[in-house]
Structure 1
Amino acid sequence: MTLLEVCLDDVDGAPVAEAAGADRLELCAALGDGGITPSAGTVAAVFDRVHRVGVQVLVRQRPGDFVYSSAELEAMAADIRMIRALPRPAAVRLGFVVGALMPDGTIDRAATERLVAVARDVPVTFHKAFDQTPDQFAALDQLVDLGVERVLTSGGAASASEGSARLAALVSHASGRIAVLAGGGVRPDNVEALVRTTGVREVHLRPGAAVPSAAIASTIDASPTARSYDSGHRIATSGVLVARMRAVLDHTMACA
Protein backbone atom coordinates (compact mmCIF):
# COMPACT_ATOMS: atom_id res chain seq x y z
CA MET A 1 0.00 0.00 0.00
CA THR A 2 1.22 3.50 -0.84
CA LEU A 3 0.63 5.90 2.03
CA LEU A 4 -1.13 9.17 1.18
CA GLU A 5 -0.22 12.27 3.18
CA VAL A 6 -2.42 15.34 2.70
CA CYS A 7 -1.02 18.80 3.41
CA LEU A 8 -3.56 21.35 4.66
CA ASP A 9 -4.02 24.46 6.74
CA ASP A 10 -7.80 24.46 7.20
CA VAL A 11 -9.39 22.84 10.26
CA ASP A 12 -12.50 21.87 8.29
CA GLY A 13 -10.31 20.12 5.72
CA ALA A 14 -9.01 17.55 8.21
CA PRO A 15 -12.17 15.39 8.44
CA VAL A 16 -12.74 15.90 4.71
CA ALA A 17 -9.29 14.49 3.92
CA GLU A 18 -9.74 11.61 6.36
CA ALA A 19 -13.12 10.63 4.89
CA ALA A 20 -11.71 10.79 1.35
CA GLY A 21 -8.92 8.31 2.08
CA ALA A 22 -5.92 10.18 3.49
CA ASP A 23 -3.66 8.10 5.71
CA ARG A 24 -1.91 11.04 7.29
CA LEU A 25 -2.19 14.82 7.43
CA GLU A 26 0.52 17.45 7.48
CA LEU A 27 -1.08 20.27 9.43
CA CYS A 28 0.30 23.74 8.77
CA ALA A 29 -0.68 27.38 8.94
CA ALA A 30 -0.30 29.97 6.18
CA LEU A 31 0.50 27.64 3.30
CA GLY A 32 0.26 30.64 0.99
CA ASP A 33 3.51 31.79 2.62
CA GLY A 34 5.13 28.36 2.47
CA GLY A 35 3.73 27.13 5.78
CA ILE A 36 4.44 27.87 9.44
CA THR A 37 3.51 26.23 12.75
CA PRO A 38 -0.24 26.09 13.36
CA SER A 39 -1.50 27.31 16.72
CA ALA A 40 -2.10 24.86 19.55
CA GLY A 41 -5.79 25.71 19.24
CA THR A 42 -5.76 24.69 15.58
CA VAL A 43 -4.04 21.40 16.38
CA ALA A 44 -6.50 20.69 19.19
CA ALA A 45 -9.43 21.42 16.87
CA VAL A 46 -8.09 18.93 14.33
CA PHE A 47 -7.60 16.29 17.04
CA ASP A 48 -11.27 16.79 17.93
CA ARG A 49 -12.36 16.19 14.32
CA VAL A 50 -10.38 13.15 13.19
CA HIS A 51 -10.41 9.53 14.33
CA ARG A 52 -7.73 7.43 12.61
CA VAL A 53 -5.37 9.51 10.44
CA GLY A 54 -1.88 10.38 11.54
CA VAL A 55 -1.34 14.10 12.14
CA GLN A 56 2.07 15.54 11.35
CA VAL A 57 2.41 19.09 12.66
CA LEU A 58 4.74 21.49 10.87
CA VAL A 59 7.14 23.26 13.23
CA ARG A 60 8.48 26.26 11.37
CA GLN A 61 8.83 29.52 13.25
CA ARG A 62 8.61 31.86 10.25
CA PRO A 63 8.64 32.00 6.46
CA GLY A 64 11.94 32.44 4.66
CA ASP A 65 15.19 30.53 5.03
CA PHE A 66 15.83 27.56 7.32
CA VAL A 67 18.76 29.05 9.24
CA TYR A 68 17.44 29.70 12.74
CA SER A 69 18.64 31.75 15.69
CA SER A 70 18.80 30.28 19.18
CA ALA A 71 15.66 32.22 20.13
CA GLU A 72 13.78 30.83 17.13
CA LEU A 73 14.86 27.29 17.97
CA GLU A 74 13.69 27.74 21.56
CA ALA A 75 10.29 28.89 20.27
CA MET A 76 10.10 25.81 18.01
CA ALA A 77 11.02 23.53 20.90
CA ALA A 78 8.31 25.16 23.03
CA ASP A 79 5.76 24.56 20.26
CA ILE A 80 6.70 20.87 20.17
CA ARG A 81 6.32 20.54 23.94
CA MET A 82 2.95 22.28 23.92
CA ILE A 83 1.51 20.30 21.00
CA ARG A 84 2.86 16.99 22.28
CA ALA A 85 0.94 17.55 25.53
CA LEU A 86 -2.44 18.05 23.83
CA PRO A 87 -4.98 15.22 24.27
CA ARG A 88 -5.72 13.29 21.09
CA PRO A 89 -7.58 10.13 20.03
CA ALA A 90 -5.70 6.93 20.79
CA ALA A 91 -5.66 5.90 17.11
CA VAL A 92 -4.22 9.23 15.91
CA ARG A 93 -0.44 9.05 15.62
CA LEU A 94 1.22 12.42 16.17
CA GLY A 95 4.36 13.48 14.31
CA PHE A 96 6.38 16.64 13.85
CA VAL A 97 7.82 18.11 10.65
CA VAL A 98 10.99 20.17 11.03
CA GLY A 99 13.93 21.38 9.00
CA ALA A 100 17.01 23.38 9.96
CA LEU A 101 20.07 24.16 7.85
CA MET A 102 23.48 25.71 8.30
CA PRO A 103 24.28 28.84 6.24
CA ASP A 104 26.09 26.63 3.68
CA GLY A 105 22.95 24.52 3.16
CA THR A 106 24.09 21.45 5.07
CA ILE A 107 21.95 19.91 7.81
CA ASP A 108 22.09 21.82 11.10
CA ARG A 109 22.87 18.76 13.16
CA ALA A 110 22.70 20.49 16.55
CA ALA A 111 19.33 22.08 15.86
CA THR A 112 17.86 18.89 14.41
CA GLU A 113 19.18 16.80 17.29
CA ARG A 114 17.61 19.22 19.76
CA LEU A 115 14.19 19.17 18.09
CA VAL A 116 14.21 15.37 17.82
CA ALA A 117 15.11 15.14 21.51
CA VAL A 118 12.27 17.48 22.51
CA ALA A 119 9.84 15.43 20.42
CA ARG A 120 10.91 12.39 22.47
CA ASP A 121 8.93 9.35 21.30
CA VAL A 122 6.99 11.32 18.66
CA PRO A 123 8.41 10.65 15.16
CA VAL A 124 10.03 13.48 13.21
CA THR A 125 10.01 14.19 9.48
CA PHE A 126 12.60 16.50 7.88
CA HIS A 127 10.80 18.72 5.37
CA LYS A 128 11.79 20.04 1.94
CA ALA A 129 14.62 22.10 3.35
CA PHE A 130 16.36 18.82 2.52
CA ASP A 131 16.20 19.77 -1.16
CA GLN A 132 18.56 22.70 -0.51
CA THR A 133 21.35 20.48 0.81
CA PRO A 134 24.41 20.27 -1.47
CA ASP A 135 24.82 16.49 -0.99
CA GLN A 136 21.47 14.79 -0.48
CA PHE A 137 22.95 11.34 0.08
CA ALA A 138 25.21 12.60 2.87
CA ALA A 139 22.27 14.56 4.29
CA LEU A 140 20.13 11.43 4.27
CA ASP A 141 22.79 9.53 6.23
CA GLN A 142 22.99 12.37 8.76
CA LEU A 143 19.23 12.36 9.27
CA VAL A 144 19.29 8.60 9.86
CA ASP A 145 21.99 9.12 12.51
CA LEU A 146 19.89 11.86 14.13
CA GLY A 147 16.85 9.62 14.49
CA VAL A 148 14.65 11.27 11.86
CA GLU A 149 11.94 8.89 10.59
CA ARG A 150 11.35 10.28 7.09
CA VAL A 151 12.31 13.01 4.66
CA LEU A 152 9.97 14.99 2.41
CA THR A 153 11.64 15.66 -0.93
CA SER A 154 11.20 16.21 -4.64
CA GLY A 155 14.75 15.01 -5.23
CA GLY A 156 15.95 18.59 -5.36
CA ALA A 157 13.93 19.34 -8.51
CA ALA A 158 11.04 21.73 -9.06
CA SER A 159 8.63 18.79 -8.84
CA ALA A 160 8.79 15.16 -7.77
CA SER A 161 8.19 14.04 -11.35
CA GLU A 162 11.18 16.05 -12.57
CA GLY A 163 13.25 14.68 -9.70
CA SER A 164 12.14 11.06 -10.16
CA ALA A 165 15.61 9.73 -10.99
CA ARG A 166 17.07 11.29 -7.85
CA LEU A 167 14.11 10.07 -5.79
CA ALA A 168 14.74 6.52 -6.98
CA ALA A 169 18.40 6.86 -6.02
CA LEU A 170 17.46 8.19 -2.58
CA VAL A 171 15.05 5.30 -1.99
CA SER A 172 17.85 2.89 -2.90
CA HIS A 173 20.36 4.70 -0.69
CA ALA A 174 17.91 4.82 2.23
CA SER A 175 17.57 1.03 2.06
CA GLY A 176 14.73 1.07 4.58
CA ARG A 177 16.64 3.09 7.18
CA ILE A 178 14.47 6.17 6.65
CA ALA A 179 11.27 6.70 4.65
CA VAL A 180 11.36 8.84 1.51
CA LEU A 181 8.15 10.86 1.15
CA ALA A 182 7.75 12.21 -2.39
CA GLY A 183 6.25 15.69 -2.55
CA GLY A 184 6.09 18.60 -4.95
CA GLY A 185 3.54 18.73 -7.74
CA VAL A 186 2.27 15.20 -7.04
CA ARG A 187 -1.19 14.83 -8.60
CA PRO A 188 -3.56 12.00 -9.58
CA ASP A 189 -2.41 12.18 -13.20
CA ASN A 190 1.29 11.65 -12.44
CA VAL A 191 1.40 9.66 -9.21
CA GLU A 192 1.19 6.20 -10.80
CA ALA A 193 4.28 6.77 -12.92
CA LEU A 194 6.06 8.37 -9.97
CA VAL A 195 5.44 5.41 -7.67
CA ARG A 196 6.40 2.86 -10.32
CA THR A 197 9.63 4.58 -11.37
CA THR A 198 10.94 5.64 -7.96
CA GLY A 199 9.83 2.93 -5.55
CA VAL A 200 8.51 5.49 -3.05
CA ARG A 201 5.86 4.16 -0.71
CA GLU A 202 4.65 7.50 0.61
CA VAL A 203 3.38 10.50 -1.37
CA HIS A 204 2.48 14.03 -0.31
CA LEU A 205 -0.50 15.88 -1.79
CA ARG A 206 -1.61 19.49 -1.37
CA PRO A 207 -5.27 19.24 -2.51
CA GLY A 208 -6.16 22.91 -2.30
CA ALA A 209 -9.07 24.31 -4.28
CA ALA A 210 -10.37 27.87 -4.45
CA VAL A 211 -13.79 28.37 -2.88
CA PRO A 212 -15.81 31.61 -2.79
CA SER A 213 -15.45 33.85 0.23
CA ALA A 214 -18.25 33.58 2.79
CA ALA A 215 -18.31 37.37 3.02
CA ILE A 216 -20.99 39.22 1.11
CA ALA A 217 -19.37 40.57 -2.05
CA SER A 218 -20.62 44.11 -1.49
CA THR A 219 -18.81 44.32 1.85
CA ILE A 220 -15.52 43.36 0.18
CA ASP A 221 -15.98 45.75 -2.74
CA ALA A 222 -16.90 48.65 -0.47
CA SER A 223 -13.47 49.07 1.07
CA PRO A 224 -9.93 48.98 -0.33
CA THR A 225 -8.81 47.71 3.08
CA ALA A 226 -11.27 44.82 2.91
CA ARG A 227 -10.06 43.90 -0.57
CA SER A 228 -6.48 43.71 0.70
CA TYR A 229 -7.53 40.96 3.12
CA ASP A 230 -10.23 39.19 1.13
CA SER A 231 -9.74 38.50 -2.57
CA GLY A 232 -13.20 36.96 -2.83
CA HIS A 233 -12.00 33.38 -2.44
CA ARG A 234 -9.96 31.18 -0.13
CA ILE A 235 -8.16 27.85 -0.48
CA ALA A 236 -9.83 24.80 1.09
CA THR A 237 -9.04 21.09 1.07
CA SER A 238 -10.70 19.26 -1.82
CA GLY A 239 -12.10 15.89 -0.80
CA VAL A 240 -12.67 15.11 -4.47
CA LEU A 241 -8.96 15.47 -5.23
CA VAL A 242 -7.97 13.38 -2.21
CA ALA A 243 -10.41 10.63 -3.25
CA ARG A 244 -9.05 10.66 -6.82
CA MET A 245 -5.51 10.29 -5.53
CA ARG A 246 -6.54 7.46 -3.21
CA ALA A 247 -8.25 5.63 -6.08
CA VAL A 248 -5.20 5.92 -8.34
CA LEU A 249 -2.86 4.71 -5.60
CA ASP A 250 -5.09 1.74 -4.79
CA HIS A 251 -5.31 0.82 -8.48
CA THR A 252 -1.54 1.13 -8.86
CA MET A 253 -0.90 -1.24 -5.97
CA ALA A 254 -3.55 -3.70 -7.18
CA CYS A 255 -1.82 -3.89 -10.57
CA ALA A 256 1.69 -4.18 -9.15
Structure 2
Amino acid sequence: MRREPTRCMFSYGTVGLAPTENKTLCKRVGGSMGKMIFELCAETVGACVAARDGGADRIELCSALSEDGLTPSHGLLHEAIVKSGLPVHGLVRPRGGGFVYSDDEIAVMEQDILHMRQLGVAGVVLGLLKSDGTVDVDATRRLVALARPLQVTFHRAFDETPSLEQALEDVIATGCDRVLTSGGCADVMQGADVLARLVAQAGDRIEIAVGGGLRTTNAAELAMRTRAKSFHGSLSWDGVPTAQDVRSMVEQLRSVGAA
Protein backbone atom coordinates (compact mmCIF):
# COMPACT_ATOMS: atom_id res chain seq x y z
CA MET A 1 0.00 0.00 0.00
CA ARG A 2 1.30 3.45 -0.88
CA ARG A 3 0.42 6.50 1.20
CA GLU A 4 1.81 10.03 1.42
CA PRO A 5 1.06 11.45 4.86
CA THR A 6 1.87 15.11 5.38
CA ARG A 7 3.09 14.98 8.97
CA CYS A 8 6.80 14.68 9.61
CA MET A 9 8.76 15.57 12.73
CA PHE A 10 12.32 14.77 11.70
CA SER A 11 14.26 15.24 8.48
CA TYR A 12 17.34 13.55 7.07
CA GLY A 13 19.16 13.94 3.79
CA THR A 14 18.93 11.15 1.26
CA VAL A 15 22.33 9.66 0.62
CA GLY A 16 22.68 6.68 -1.69
CA LEU A 17 25.36 4.12 -0.85
CA ALA A 18 27.15 1.80 -3.22
CA PRO A 19 27.25 -1.83 -2.01
CA THR A 20 30.97 -1.52 -1.26
CA GLU A 21 30.21 1.31 1.18
CA ASN A 22 27.68 -0.68 3.14
CA LYS A 23 30.14 -2.74 5.17
CA THR A 24 31.96 0.33 6.45
CA LEU A 25 28.78 2.02 7.64
CA CYS A 26 27.44 -1.21 9.11
CA LYS A 27 30.55 -1.54 11.27
CA ARG A 28 29.98 1.99 12.58
CA VAL A 29 26.42 1.23 13.64
CA GLY A 30 26.87 -2.14 15.27
CA GLY A 31 27.74 -5.07 13.02
CA SER A 32 25.82 -7.67 11.06
CA MET A 33 22.04 -7.28 10.98
CA GLY A 34 21.09 -10.72 9.68
CA LYS A 35 18.60 -11.52 6.93
CA MET A 36 16.77 -8.63 5.31
CA ILE A 37 13.26 -9.11 3.92
CA PHE A 38 12.02 -7.29 0.83
CA GLU A 39 8.32 -7.20 -0.04
CA LEU A 40 7.26 -5.88 -3.44
CA CYS A 41 4.00 -3.96 -3.56
CA ALA A 42 2.47 -5.13 -6.86
CA GLU A 43 -0.70 -4.41 -8.80
CA THR A 44 -0.06 -6.53 -11.90
CA VAL A 45 0.87 -10.12 -12.67
CA GLY A 46 3.96 -8.80 -14.45
CA ALA A 47 5.15 -7.13 -11.26
CA CYS A 48 4.60 -10.39 -9.37
CA VAL A 49 6.72 -12.28 -11.88
CA ALA A 50 9.41 -9.60 -11.54
CA ALA A 51 9.29 -10.12 -7.77
CA ARG A 52 9.85 -13.83 -8.27
CA ASP A 53 12.66 -13.46 -10.78
CA GLY A 54 14.35 -10.65 -8.85
CA GLY A 55 14.50 -12.53 -5.56
CA ALA A 56 11.86 -10.74 -3.47
CA ASP A 57 10.70 -12.50 -0.33
CA ARG A 58 6.99 -11.79 -0.60
CA ILE A 59 4.37 -9.72 -2.42
CA GLU A 60 1.74 -7.31 -1.19
CA LEU A 61 -0.91 -7.49 -3.88
CA CYS A 62 -3.37 -4.69 -4.52
CA SER A 63 -5.21 -2.95 -7.31
CA ALA A 64 -5.29 0.77 -8.09
CA LEU A 65 -2.02 2.06 -6.69
CA SER A 66 -3.20 5.41 -8.03
CA GLU A 67 -5.73 5.25 -5.16
CA ASP A 68 -2.98 4.14 -2.75
CA GLY A 69 -4.14 0.56 -3.26
CA LEU A 70 -7.49 -1.24 -3.13
CA THR A 71 -8.57 -4.87 -2.72
CA PRO A 72 -7.36 -6.95 -5.70
CA SER A 73 -9.74 -8.98 -7.83
CA HIS A 74 -10.20 -12.75 -7.70
CA GLY A 75 -8.40 -13.16 -11.00
CA LEU A 76 -5.42 -11.03 -10.00
CA LEU A 77 -5.06 -12.88 -6.69
CA HIS A 78 -5.22 -16.27 -8.38
CA GLU A 79 -2.69 -15.44 -11.08
CA ALA A 80 -0.32 -13.77 -8.63
CA ILE A 81 -0.30 -16.81 -6.35
CA VAL A 82 0.11 -19.30 -9.19
CA LYS A 83 2.67 -17.44 -11.29
CA SER A 84 4.88 -15.92 -8.62
CA GLY A 85 5.28 -18.89 -6.32
CA LEU A 86 5.93 -16.37 -3.53
CA PRO A 87 3.94 -15.67 -0.37
CA VAL A 88 1.21 -13.25 -1.47
CA HIS A 89 -0.41 -10.89 1.04
CA GLY A 90 -3.64 -9.38 -0.24
CA LEU A 91 -4.65 -5.82 0.57
CA VAL A 92 -8.09 -5.57 2.18
CA ARG A 93 -9.30 -2.05 1.41
CA PRO A 94 -12.78 -1.74 -0.10
CA ARG A 95 -12.53 1.92 -1.15
CA GLY A 96 -10.21 4.88 -1.41
CA GLY A 97 -10.16 7.79 0.98
CA GLY A 98 -9.82 7.50 4.74
CA PHE A 99 -9.63 4.51 7.03
CA VAL A 100 -12.75 4.95 9.18
CA TYR A 101 -15.12 2.21 8.04
CA SER A 102 -18.84 1.65 8.49
CA ASP A 103 -20.26 -1.66 9.69
CA ASP A 104 -21.26 -2.47 6.11
CA GLU A 105 -17.72 -1.81 4.86
CA ILE A 106 -16.25 -3.97 7.61
CA ALA A 107 -18.64 -6.75 6.56
CA VAL A 108 -17.25 -6.46 3.03
CA MET A 109 -13.71 -6.67 4.42
CA GLU A 110 -14.65 -9.82 6.34
CA GLN A 111 -15.87 -11.49 3.16
CA ASP A 112 -12.75 -10.42 1.27
CA ILE A 113 -10.56 -11.96 3.98
CA LEU A 114 -12.48 -15.25 3.80
CA HIS A 115 -12.22 -15.22 0.02
CA MET A 116 -8.48 -14.57 0.08
CA ARG A 117 -7.96 -17.34 2.60
CA GLN A 118 -9.78 -19.77 0.30
CA LEU A 119 -7.61 -18.70 -2.63
CA GLY A 120 -4.43 -19.50 -0.72
CA VAL A 121 -2.86 -16.17 0.17
CA ALA A 122 -0.19 -16.19 2.87
CA GLY A 123 -1.45 -13.04 4.55
CA VAL A 124 -3.72 -10.02 4.45
CA VAL A 125 -2.97 -6.32 4.81
CA LEU A 126 -5.45 -3.97 6.45
CA GLY A 127 -5.80 -0.87 8.59
CA LEU A 128 -8.76 0.57 10.45
CA LEU A 129 -8.95 3.84 12.38
CA LYS A 130 -11.55 5.42 14.63
CA SER A 131 -13.00 8.87 13.99
CA ASP A 132 -10.41 10.45 16.30
CA GLY A 133 -7.59 9.04 14.16
CA THR A 134 -6.51 6.35 16.59
CA VAL A 135 -6.31 2.64 15.77
CA ASP A 136 -9.66 0.85 15.85
CA VAL A 137 -8.40 -1.92 18.11
CA ASP A 138 -11.67 -3.80 18.51
CA ALA A 139 -12.58 -3.98 14.81
CA THR A 140 -9.01 -4.79 13.80
CA ARG A 141 -8.77 -7.54 16.42
CA ARG A 142 -11.92 -9.16 15.01
CA LEU A 143 -10.50 -9.12 11.48
CA VAL A 144 -7.19 -10.54 12.67
CA ALA A 145 -9.01 -13.41 14.38
CA LEU A 146 -11.02 -14.06 11.21
CA ALA A 147 -7.86 -14.10 9.09
CA ARG A 148 -5.97 -16.65 11.15
CA PRO A 149 -3.86 -18.67 10.47
CA LEU A 150 -2.80 -16.10 7.85
CA GLN A 151 -0.29 -13.40 8.70
CA VAL A 152 -1.74 -9.92 9.15
CA THR A 153 -0.06 -6.59 8.42
CA PHE A 154 -1.43 -3.24 9.60
CA HIS A 155 -0.77 -0.89 6.69
CA ARG A 156 0.18 2.78 6.51
CA ALA A 157 -3.07 4.01 7.98
CA PHE A 158 -0.74 3.74 10.98
CA ASP A 159 1.14 6.83 9.76
CA GLU A 160 -2.00 8.96 10.04
CA THR A 161 -2.53 8.36 13.75
CA PRO A 162 -1.89 11.25 16.18
CA SER A 163 0.76 9.33 18.16
CA LEU A 164 2.82 6.66 16.44
CA GLU A 165 4.15 5.39 19.75
CA GLN A 166 0.65 4.79 21.12
CA ALA A 167 -0.53 3.47 17.76
CA LEU A 168 2.22 0.86 17.85
CA GLU A 169 1.02 -0.39 21.22
CA ASP A 170 -2.54 -0.44 19.88
CA VAL A 171 -1.56 -2.45 16.79
CA ILE A 172 0.34 -4.91 18.96
CA ALA A 173 -2.83 -5.31 21.04
CA THR A 174 -4.78 -6.30 17.92
CA GLY A 175 -2.53 -9.31 17.31
CA CYS A 176 -1.14 -8.11 13.97
CA ASP A 177 2.18 -9.64 12.93
CA ARG A 178 3.67 -6.48 11.44
CA VAL A 179 3.04 -2.82 10.82
CA LEU A 180 4.01 -0.96 7.64
CA THR A 181 5.22 2.59 8.24
CA SER A 182 7.31 5.44 6.88
CA GLY A 183 7.69 6.95 10.33
CA GLY A 184 4.81 9.33 9.64
CA CYS A 185 6.50 11.06 6.71
CA ALA A 186 5.94 11.19 2.97
CA ASP A 187 9.47 9.84 2.52
CA VAL A 188 11.10 7.14 4.63
CA MET A 189 14.42 8.94 4.89
CA GLN A 190 12.70 11.89 6.53
CA GLY A 191 11.18 9.46 9.01
CA ALA A 192 14.38 7.52 9.71
CA ASP A 193 14.78 8.73 13.29
CA VAL A 194 11.17 7.95 14.16
CA LEU A 195 11.48 4.55 12.49
CA ALA A 196 14.52 3.72 14.59
CA ARG A 197 12.51 4.54 17.72
CA LEU A 198 9.63 2.37 16.58
CA VAL A 199 11.94 -0.56 15.85
CA ALA A 200 13.40 -0.24 19.34
CA GLN A 201 9.96 0.10 20.92
CA ALA A 202 8.61 -2.92 19.04
CA GLY A 203 11.44 -5.24 20.05
CA ASP A 204 10.39 -8.79 19.24
CA ARG A 205 6.68 -8.09 19.81
CA ILE A 206 5.88 -7.10 16.21
CA GLU A 207 7.75 -6.67 12.94
CA ILE A 208 8.29 -3.13 11.67
CA ALA A 209 8.12 -3.08 7.87
CA VAL A 210 9.62 0.10 6.43
CA GLY A 211 8.08 1.59 3.29
CA GLY A 212 7.17 4.84 1.57
CA GLY A 213 9.72 6.21 -0.89
CA LEU A 214 12.10 3.24 -0.60
CA ARG A 215 14.69 3.28 -3.39
CA THR A 216 17.89 1.48 -4.23
CA THR A 217 19.71 4.75 -3.55
CA ASN A 218 18.53 4.95 0.05
CA ALA A 219 17.75 1.37 1.09
CA ALA A 220 21.11 0.47 2.59
CA GLU A 221 21.47 3.67 4.57
CA LEU A 222 17.89 3.40 5.77
CA ALA A 223 18.41 -0.17 6.93
CA MET A 224 21.40 0.79 8.99
CA ARG A 225 19.87 3.93 10.46
CA THR A 226 16.66 2.25 11.52
CA ARG A 227 17.94 -1.28 12.27
CA ALA A 228 14.78 -2.59 10.62
CA LYS A 229 14.92 -5.93 8.83
CA SER A 230 11.76 -5.75 6.71
CA PHE A 231 11.30 -3.39 3.76
CA HIS A 232 8.46 -2.66 1.34
CA GLY A 233 8.29 -0.81 -1.97
CA SER A 234 6.60 -0.76 -5.36
CA LEU A 235 9.70 0.21 -7.39
CA SER A 236 7.24 1.54 -9.96
CA TRP A 237 8.61 5.00 -10.71
CA ASP A 238 8.79 4.27 -14.46
CA GLY A 239 5.93 1.81 -14.78
CA VAL A 240 5.91 -1.91 -13.96
CA PRO A 241 9.06 -2.87 -12.04
CA THR A 242 11.46 -5.26 -13.72
CA ALA A 243 13.26 -8.24 -12.24
CA GLN A 244 16.45 -6.17 -12.34
CA ASP A 245 14.79 -3.41 -10.32
CA VAL A 246 13.84 -5.96 -7.69
CA ARG A 247 17.25 -7.65 -7.79
CA SER A 248 19.03 -4.34 -7.26
CA MET A 249 16.92 -3.62 -4.19
CA VAL A 250 17.44 -7.09 -2.78
CA GLU A 251 21.20 -6.84 -3.31
CA GLN A 252 21.35 -3.50 -1.51
CA LEU A 253 19.50 -4.86 1.50
CA ARG A 254 21.28 -8.21 1.60
CA SER A 255 24.68 -6.51 1.45
CA VAL A 256 23.79 -4.77 4.71
CA GLY A 257 22.54 -7.95 6.33
CA ALA A 258 25.72 -9.82 5.44
CA ALA A 259 28.16 -7.03 6.32
Q: Specify the TM-score bucket, using the shorter chain as the normaliser.
A: 0.7 to 0.9
1:49 matches 2:83? yes
Out of 82, 89, 94, the residue aligned to residue 115 of structure 2 is: 82
Out of 36, 48, 51, the residue aligned to residue 2 of structure 1 is: 36
The Cα shift of 1:110 comes to: 2.0
- Per the alignment, in what secondary structure is the counterpart of residue 237 of structure 1? coil
TM-score (norm 2): 0.84
1:156 matches 2:184? yes
1:66 matches 2:94? no
The Cα shift of 1:50 comes to: 2.0
Would you say the 8 A contact 1:21–1:246 is kept in 2? Answer: yes
The Cα shift of 1:243 comes to: 0.9
Measured in 1, the distance between the counterparts of 2:208 and 2:248 equals 22
Count of matched residue positions in the alignment of Structure 1 and Structure 2: 225
* 1:35 corresponds to: 69
* 2:252 corresponds to: 248
1:12-44 deviation line (CA, Å, top 9, x unaligned): 221221110100100000001111000122111
1:149-178 deviation line (CA, Å, top 9, x unaligned): 000000101111100000000000001100
Which structure 2 residue ranges, 5 or more long, are not aligned? Answer: 1-34
Would you say the 8 A contact 1:27–1:38 is kept in 2? Answer: yes
Measured in 1, the distance between the counterparts of 2:99 and 2:206 equals 21
Would you say the 8 A contact 2:38–2:56 is kept in 1? Answer: yes
* 1:221 corresponds to: none
1:145 matches 2:192? no
Measured in 1, the distance between the counterparts of 2:176 and 2:244 equals 32
Root-mean-square deviation (CA, aligned residues, Å) is 1.2
* 1:117 corresponds to: 145
Measured in 2, the distance between the counterparts of 1:54 and 1:167 equals 25
The Cα shift of 1:103 comes to: 1.1
Q: Residue type of the partner of 1:248?
A: Q
Would you say the 8 A contact 1:183–1:205 is kept in 2? Answer: yes
The Cα shift of 1:209 comes to: 4.8
Would you say the 8 A contact 1:99–1:112 is kept in 2? Answer: yes
TM-score (norm 1): 0.85
**Which protein has greater RCO, CA pairs closer than 8 Å, 6+ apart?**
2
Would you say the 8 A contact 1:209–1:238 is kept in 2? Answer: no
* 1:223 corresponds to: none
Measured in 2, the distance between the counterparts of 1:143 and 1:13 equals 29
Give identity over the alignment, percent: 40
Rg (Cα) greater in structure: 1
Would you say the 8 A contact 1:10–1:237 is kept in 2? Answer: no
- Per the alignment, in what secondary structure is the counterpart of residue 189 of structure 1? coil
The Cα shift of 1:70 comes to: 0.5
Q: Residue type of the partner of 1:49?
A: K
Measured in 1, the distance between the counterparts of 2:256 and 2:178 equals 22
Measured in 1, the distance between the counterparts of 2:177 and 2:103 equals 24
1:237 matches 2:244? no
4+ runs deviating over 2 angstroms: none
The Cα shift of 1:254 comes to: 2.2
